Chain A
Amino acid sequence: MHRAWKKYTTIINKRWIPYLYLSPFFIIFVVFGLYPILFSAWISLHDWDLSTSPWDMEWQGLANYEYILTDEWFYRALYTTLWLAIVAGVPQHLIALPLATLLFRLSNRTRHFLFCFYFLPFITSSVAISLVFSSLFSRDFGVLNQVVSGLHDWVVFDIQPLAWLFPEQAIDWQDSSHIRWTIAMVVFWRYVGWNTLLYLSAMKTIPEELFDAAYLEGAGFWQQLRHVTLPMLRPMILLALTLSLIGNMQLFEEPFILTAGTGGSGQAGQTMAMYLYATAFAEGDFATASAIAWLLFVILLALCSLGRRINQKNNG
């Protein structure tokens, strides 16, 4: 094997070796990335389903896009996706950032040990774990509802201090008014560790002298957090928020499993990616689905550049 290779590489002019080494990446990219993406832009401008040959496609211009922009379900899915991006996304950072600062104060060994627990949800199969959550969120005697009713019934000195906060009736976590909260909880639980990792890795790069100087000037934990940690973490906070936004706008697996692939009652749990999937593979309308993909891409780009714009304004 390696003899043969030796022969080849001496025959081939040395100039070509880097291109040879790069060829697997670019061949795969062109065949399974670039060409299909351009093809999808092309079919999004046509009327086409799988039964007609690509050569007989009927040119439609922007009709598919117009159709989507007048479709009520598109706006519902967009609303659900944005809602989840905020409700599942923001708390991740509100927990991850303080958690990272607390973890940072521990010894390396303890920190690593404890952090592994937070990281575990991130690396496990979202399908498997969403299924487990479906059972925990069961309406009748699911673990979560038992906790809720336990908190409702909790008695201290003859009064129930939490009764106003937790309902007496079992909550149907799958119904249209709760399903988004259910999804948000699972997404929060899955990604909080990942964001903590991002913040921890950024904290390790802050020079120790800054903390020492702040300490010598009498700054306590909170003042150090306010005047040293947060300003130094600013670029990472922006990166992490952007990554969360990009990820949450593409949310698919958790809502798909938690609503058993249906989007839930009233499609209240249907995200944009699920709407795209349903249009393509349940309705077989690949042209419209491609148009949805491109619209979603444009929305994503717009949101990211909006974020950058806001950031630049704040800086300047």
Chain B
Amino acid sequence: MHHSSSPHWLLPGIIGLGAILMVLPFWFMLVFATHDEAHIFAVPPPLWFGDQLGENISQLLNRLPYFWHNLSNSFYIAIMTTGLNLLFCSLAGCAFALYQFKGKKWLFNLVLGTMLLPGFLNMIPNALMIAMFGWINEPKALYIPAACGAFGVFLMRQYIEQAVPYEVIEAARLDGCSEWGLYRYMVLPLIRPALFTLALLTFIASWNNFMAPLVVLRDMESYTLPLALRALQGVGVVPWGAVCAGAAIAVMPLIILLIFTSHQLIDRLSQGYSK
């Protein structure tokens, strides 16, 4: 909407005020991570950093002896899930975008249809499958079932159709390029921006995932970060300073990702939904 008559600072001012409300909880999280219990619940609450970060971290490690292990589990699972999705989704997207084959339309609709299946429907039977395979407490219980997401296949197919001209593929075939060569040397370099977005989305989803690991990871040592943080709630008095320190460690990578990749993340997500 153009041609407005309100003062030019008013609009950003109002929206900026809302933006401050949105990040305030993050601010308190960071500040509380550096204060002891007495300060966190002081009147008025602290608004600036204190000097108890070390104390809070050691309390966190005291409550969660495997905390660093949990952190590396989270990274490992997120990286494996991301890597597998990049490979499998781009191959599947390639098949849908560049090949003609029997049942193509039907199979593509099936991929779209699986996106409509709600997660809870799969929660119990999936846990039973994992138990049957003997994968309880193992990272692969999380990255194998999530290795090729339907949304990723859809994203790749859309992007390849638009970014890889069919004539180029035909020309390369006539020049004797193998099918694998087509994927490796023609398609992959052209779809790098889409791969980057898919990597971001997959990493974030895996990093934040709570329900799937809750069902299949039972031992403290195998926990991912969200499960470990939740375990702080379990027994006795909740150490709020330590909770905020742990939460800050879990949220930090995502804040950093958003700062550096906000354009890839937000713009491409919004493109996907504007069609």
Inter-chain contact B107/A22, CB cutoff 8 Å: yes
Inter-chain contact B101/A15, CB cutoff 8 Å: yes
Q: Looking at chain B's contact residues, is the secondary structure mostly helix, strand, loop, or mixed?
A: helix
Which one of A58-66, A99-107, A156-164 is at the interface? A99-107
Within 8 A of B (CB), among A169-198: 189, 192-193, 197-198
Inter-chain contact A225/B1, CB cutoff 8 Å: yes
Please pick, from B14, B29, B215, B233, the residue contacting A281 in the complex, using a CB distance under 8 A: B215
Verify if A84 is at the interface (C-beta below 8 Å from B).
Answer: no
CB distance from A188 to the nearest CB of B (A): 11
Size of the B side of the interface (Cβ < 8 Å), in residues, is: 97
Verify if A10 is at the interface (C-beta below 8 Å from B).
Answer: yes
Which one of A71-79, A85-93, A138-146 is at the interface? A138-146
Inter-chain contact B274/A215, CB cutoff 8 Å: no
Inter-chain contact A126/B125, CB cutoff 8 Å: no
Inter-chain contact B178/A136, CB cutoff 8 Å: no
Inter-chain contact A128/B226, CB cutoff 8 Å: yes
CB distance from A124 to the nearest CB of B (A): 5
> Knowing A105-B2, A114-B15, A293-B124 touch, does A125 contact B270 (C-beta < 8 A)?
no
> Knowing A115-B266, A193-B22, A257-B230 touch, does A229 contact B178 (C-beta < 8 A)?
no
> Knowing A31-B129, A127-B230 touch, does A250 contact B118 (C-beta < 8 A)?
yes
> Knowing A22-B92, A28-B148, A37-B121 touch, does A257 contact B43 (C-beta < 8 A)?
no
Inter-chain contact A289/B124, CB cutoff 8 Å: yes
Chain A, residues 14-32, CB within 8 Å of chain B (1/0): the string is: 1101110110111011011
Inter-chain contact A129/B211, CB cutoff 8 Å: no
> Knowing A9-B180, A114-B19 touch, does A136 contact B254 (C-beta < 8 A)?
no
Please pick, from B1, B145, B225, the residue contacting A224 in the complex, using a CB distance under 8 A: B1
Verify if B16 is at the interface (C-beta below 8 Å from A).
Answer: yes
Task: Please indicate the chain B residues that have their CB under 8 angstroms from the CB of A236 in the complex.
Answer: 273
Which one of B48-56, B57-65, B239-247 is at the interface? B239-247
Q: How far is the CA of A212 from the CA of B2 in the complex (A)?
A: 8
Inter-chain contact B15/A99, CB cutoff 8 Å: yes
Task: Please indicate the chain B residues that have their CB under 8 angstroms from the CB of A151 in the complex.
Answer: none
Closest A residue to B149 by CB, please name it.
Answer: A25
Task: Please indicate the chain A residues that have their CB under 8 angstroms from the CB of B263 in the complex.
Answer: 112
Verify if A252 is at the interface (C-beta below 8 Å from B).
Answer: yes
Inter-chain contact B119/A250, CB cutoff 8 Å: yes
Chain A, residues 210-247, CB within 8 Å of chain B (1/0): the string is: 01100100000100110001000000100100000010
Task: Please indicate the chain A residues that have their CB under 8 angstroms from the CB of B250 in the complex.
Answer: 125, 127-128
Verify if A273 is at the interface (C-beta below 8 Å from B).
Answer: yes
Inter-chain contact A17/B179, CB cutoff 8 Å: yes
Q: How far is the CA of A225 from the CA of B19 in the complex (A)?
A: 23
Verify if A166 is at the interface (C-beta below 8 Å from B).
Answer: no
Inter-chain contact B22/A117, CB cutoff 8 Å: yes
Q: How far is the CA of A277 from the CA of B180 in the complex (A)?
A: 44
Q: How far is the CA of A246 from the CA of B246 in the complex (A)?
A: 31
Task: Please indicate the chain A residues that have their CB under 8 angstroms from the CB of B258 in the complex.
Answer: 116, 119-120, 123
Verify if A83 is at the interface (C-beta below 8 Å from B).
Answer: no
Inter-chain contact B124/A40, CB cutoff 8 Å: yes
Which one of B163-171, B191-199, B202-210 is at the interface? B202-210
Verify if B109 is at the interface (C-beta below 8 Å from A).
Answer: no
Task: Please indicate the chain B residues that have their CB under 8 angstroms from the CB of A313 in the complex.
Answer: none
Q: How far is the CA of A124 from the CA of B207 in the complex (A)?
A: 9
Verify if B184 is at the interface (C-beta below 8 Å from A).
Answer: yes
Verify if B217 is at the interface (C-beta below 8 Å from A).
Answer: no
Inter-chain contact A112/B148, CB cutoff 8 Å: no
Q: Which of B12, B184, B207 has the most CB of A within 10 A?
A: B12
Task: Please indicate the chain A residues that have their CB under 8 angstroms from the CB of B2 in the complex.
Answer: 105, 211-212, 215
A37-B121, A114-B19, A204-B274 given; 15 more Cβ-contact pairs under 8 Å: A18-B99, A25-B148, A25-B150, A40-B122, A40-B125, A106-B15, A124-B208, A131-B247, A136-B25, A138-B240, A140-B41, A141-B45, A276-B120, A280-B124, A280-B127
Chain A to chain B: the 8 pairs with minimum beta-carbon distance, closest first: A36-B125, A201-B270, A117-B19, A128-B247, A21-B95, A18-B95, A18-B99, A141-B41
**What are 14 A-B residue pairs whose CB atoms fall within 8 Å in the complex?**
A2-B184, A21-B92, A24-B147, A25-B92, A99-B18, A106-B11, A125-B208, A131-B232, A132-B25, A134-B233, A215-B2, A239-B273, A252-B210, A293-B124
Q: Which residues of B contact A (CB under 8 A)?
A: 1-4, 11-12, 14-16, 18-20, 22-23, 25-26, 28-29, 32, 40-45, 88-89, 91-92, 94-96, 99, 101, 104, 107, 111, 114, 117-129, 144-145, 147-148, 150, 153, 178-181, 184, 204, 207-208, 210-211, 214-215, 225-226, 229-230, 232-233, 238, 240, 243-244, 246-248, 250-251, 254-255, 257-258, 262-263, 265-266, 269-271, 273-274
